[in-house]
Amino acid sequence: MAQGKGLPTRDEINDQFKWDLTDVYQSEEEWKEEFNQVKGKVAEIKKYQGQLGNSAEDLLQLLNLSTQLSRVLARLFTYAQRKNDQDTTNNQYQALVSKIQGLSNQVSSATAFIVPEIIQIPVDKLEEFLANNEDLKLYQQYLDDIIRRKEHFLSPEEERIMALTGELAQGPENIFGMINNADMEFPTIENEAGEEVKVTHGRYVELLKSDSRQVRKDVFEAYYEQYQKQKNTIATTLSTNIKKDLFRMRARDYSSCLEAALDANNIPVEVYNNLLKTVKGNLDPMYDYVDLKREALGVDELHIYDLYTPLVKDVEMKIDYKEAKEIVLEALQPLGDKYLEVVNKAFESNWIDVYENKGKRSGAYSAGCYDAHPYILLNYTGEMNDLFTLTHELGHALHSYYSNQEQPYLYSDYSIFVAEVASTVNESLLIQHLLKKTDDETKKKYLLNHYLEQFRGTVYRQTMFADYEQLIHQLAEEGEALTPNLLSKRYHNLNEKYYGDNLVIDDKIDIEWARIPHFYYNFYVYQYATGFSAAVALSEQILEEENKAVESYLEFLKSGSSDYPLEILKKAGVDMSSPEPIEKAVNIFADSVGKMKELI
C-alpha cells in the first residue's frame, strides 16, 4: 500500500484482504447468546465443590464441564479479540473484550477449587480412579502435571482469591495496549522525496530502511519522542505488571518470577540462563556485523537508527501480496503437498487480515480457537520483512491447525516454547529458497543481509530483551523502584553490551523498553531465540533428510501439549537442554557474516 498522510479506515479495505470472523460466529447476536449460556453454566461448577474425591465419576463429570466451558470461552474470546484488534478505537469491540475477560475471570474463580481438591486426593486413590474409569484416562497427563506442581498450589479458598485477581492482573497489559495502539499519536516527517509521511507503528521500520540518513534519524527521533512523553505512565504500567508477577511468585512459593513463569511448562531455569550465557559468550560475531555495516554504509560512526539499513543499496525487493503468496507456496514445498493444501486454504478462505487500517492493532500474530481455523493479523506494506512475517505466522497457523486436528481440546494448545519453532522453520525454508532461486549477486547479498538481520533480531535482540526482562524482575524482587530513569539506564547499558563499541547508542533508544508489548507477557521473549535455534536444526534436517525428517516434523506439529515441550522437541530431534543448538545458531551467524564480508 502506498504511503500517505493517513491510514485508510476499516471500511476502505477490500474484503478479500480482511479476515472472515463468521467462521467463529455468524453475528454478534450469536456471540451474545453463547456468552449468556456460559454465564448460566458457571453455577453448575459449584455443585461439585467438595465432591471430587468421592468417586471417579464425580471427578470426570467436573473435569468434562470445566473443559467444555474453557473451550467455549476460547471461542468467545477469539471473536471478541479479533474484532477489537481490527479496530482498537471501536468502543463496541472494546466492550466485547471487557465482557469476555470478566466472564473468564468468573469461570476461573468458580473453578479455583478444582486443583486444590485434586491435590488432596491421595495419589493411590487417584491411580485407582484412573485404572477403573476408562474415560478419565483422557486426563492422565493433566492430573500428573498437577501432582508435579503440588507444592505450589494453595488451599481451595486461597485459590479462589487468586482467581479473583485475574481481571486486575490483566490491567497493566490492557492499559499499555490502549496507550500504544489507540492513544499514541505520531507526527509526520519528510521522506527522501520531500513528501510528508505520517509515522505509524507499521511504517516505522520501513522508514528506518530509507537510503536517506536524515529520514532514518528523523523517524527514529519522532517515534521515540512520543514514548519519552509517556515515560512516567508507561513505567508505572510496566512496574505494576512486574509487581503482579512478584505477587504470584511469592503467593505460590517460588524462588523467583522466572522460575514461576517457566514451571508451568516444566522448563528448568537453566534452559533460560543457558541461552543468556551462550549468546553473551558469542557477541564477537555481532560486533563484527556492526563493523561490517559501518564500513559498507561508508560512515565514520554507525548509529542505532542505521541498524535496519540494508547493506546492499538500489535493489528493488518490493513484493506485492499476490507475489508473496506464490513465493510462500514455492518455499514451503519441502514440507509436502498436504501441508501446502492447508496453506492454500488459509490464503483462499480469509484466514488473514492483510493491510494496516486506522486503529488496527500493530504488529502481527496468529491466533484462534479449537472450533475454528486460526486467524493471522498482518500489517503488510510490501517489504521483504513482510514476506517473512507472513511465512512466520503461517507456521504458527499450521501448527495450530494440525494440533487441533489431531489432539483432543485438552491437549490441543501447545506451549509457547515450541510455538516459535514452527514459525521459524518456515522462515528458514524461505531464506534457503530465496538464496537458491536468484542468480543475481546483488540480490543474493541483499537476501544474505536479510538473513543476518533475522539472526540479529531473533537470537541477539530477543536474548537482550530476555536479559532485560530478567534484570528488571530481579530488581523488583530486591525491592528496587522501577523508575523511568532506572529502566532507561539499564536498557542503555544492555545495548552497549550486545552491540559493542562500534555502534553509537543514541540516547533516544534508552526509552525503547516503553514500546515492547512482550514485556507484559511474563518471560515470553526468550522463546524466540530458543525457537530459532531449534528451527535451524530442524530445517536443515528437513532439507537434508527429506521424507523421514518431514514425517517427524509433521508429527511434532500434531503433538500439541500431549507431552512437555522439551520432550516433544527431543522426539523431533533437538535437545534444548543442551547449549548445542544455540551454539550452532550463533556459529551459522558468524559464518554468514564472513560470507557477507567476502561479497561486499
Q: What is the pLDDT of residue 4?
A: 45
Q: Scan for cell 527431543, then name that residue.
A: 570
Same domain for 163 and 268, yes or no, is no
Same domain for 268 and 122, yes or no, is no
**Which are the catalytic amino acids?**
393
Q: What is the pLDDT of residue 3?
A: 45
pTM for the full predicted model: 0.80
The last residue of a domain, from among 127, 143, 169: 169
pLDDT, the chain, mean: 93
Residue-wise DSSP of 292-337: HHHHHHT-SSEEGGGTTS-SS-S------HHHHHHHHHHHTGGG-H
CATH, residue 66: 1.20.140.70
- Look at residue 207 and tell me if it is in a domain: no
* Element holding 142 (H helix, E strand): helix 140-148
Provide the number of structural domains found in the chain: 2
Same domain for 146 and 256, yes or no, is no
Segment 59-92, tens digit of pLDDT: 999 999 999 999 999 999 999 999 999 999 999 9
Same domain for 305 and 434, yes or no, is yes
DSSP H helix total and E strand total for the chain:
26, 7
Band of pLDDT at residue 1, cut at 50, 70 and 90? very low
- The C-alpha atoms of residue 79 and residue 27 are separated, in whole angstroms, by 10
Segment 5-21, tens digit of pLDDT: 578 999 999 999 999 99
- Look at residue 344 and tell me if it is in a domain: no
**Strand pairing of 372-377 and 196-198?**
unpaired
Same domain for 585 and 481, yes or no, is yes
Same domain for 594 and 445, yes or no, is yes
- Look at residue 534 and tell me if it is in a domain: yes
Instruction: Check pLDDT > 60 for residue 2.
Output: no
- Look at residue 194 and tell me if it is in a domain: no
- Look at residue 366 and tell me if it is in a domain: no
- Look at residue 404 and tell me if it is in a domain: no
Same domain for 419 and 548, yes or no, is yes
- Look at residue 376 and tell me if it is in a domain: no
- Look at residue 331 and tell me if it is in a domain: no
CATH, residue 452: 1.10.1370.20
Same domain for 113 and 22, yes or no, is yes
Identify the domain containing residue 256 by its residue range: 247-321+414-600
